[in-house]
Structures are given as structure tokens and as C-alpha cells.
Amino acid sequence: MIRLWICAGAANGFIAVALGAFSAHLLQGRLSPEALGWIETGTRYELAHGLALLAVAWLAGREVRHPIALGVAGWAFLLGTILFSGTLYLMAVLGVKALGSVVPLGGVAFLIGWAALFVFGLVLRW
């Protein structure tokens, strides 16, 4: 699982930086300010949770006794990124505001991931 979280974290970082640069340089004037804001929000959350995935990988690489909470955190961060940031990107590019109802599901997944990481911290025994 460590390899999965490292690769997922690195991919999230790559996508966030690439989309941020793409939107800042090539989409200015082509998308509405609202759509550019969606991309900016998506990239900010994707980058933050890419780093969170790297933290999950680092913690998973240590000899921990309760790895289930880490797995929940990793999967929740990954799902949250897909639902939250991915939907914001689609909304911006496709102009379909109806997709906005999916975004809060990604936010809930992020919250589950942070809660799972909190639980891991409570039960941590090295």
C-alpha cells in the first residue's frame, strides 16, 4: 500500500501543478472567472491532499500496529480528490453547474480521511 499512497500523492501533486499552470496561462480569457476559481480551488485541495497521501505513505512505512485507520485515510483522501477536485475541473471545463452537487461528497470524504488520521494518532503505538 505504501507504493500506492506515494504514487497517488505524487500524481495529485503533478496534476494540481499542471492544471494550475494550464489554467493560469492558457485558460485566462477562455473560461469565466467563476470557472477559473473552481480550477484554483480544485488544485489547492488536490495539492494539499496529495501531501496528505504522502504523509499516509510515510506513516504506513513505519512499523505501526493499527494500519486500518491509515488505509481508511488514504482511500478517503484519494476518493475525496476525485470527487471534489475532479468534479470542480469538469464543471469548469464543461460548464455544467449541476455537477456541483457531487463536490460536497468529496468534502465529506476529505473529512473522513482527516478523522481516520486522527483516530490513527489516538491509537498509535510504535
Task: Give the model confidence (pLDDT) of 78-123 as tens digits.
Answer: 999 999 999 999 999 999 999 999 999 999 999 999 999 999 999 8
Residue 126 makes CB contacts below 8 A (sequence gap 6+) with: 62, 63, 64
pLDDT for 126 equals 64
Domain that holds residue 67: 2-123
| H or E element that contains 78 | helix 67-80
One-letter identity of residue 56: V
pTM exceeds 0.75 for this model? yes
- Model confidence pLDDT, tens digit, residues 47-62: 999 999 999 999 999 8
Domain count for the chain, please give it. Answer: 1
pLDDT interval class at 63 (50, 70, 90): confident
What sign results for the dihedral spanned by CA atoms 124, 72, 57, 90? negative
User: Mean pLDDT in the chain?
Assistant: 94
CA distance 95 to 39: 12
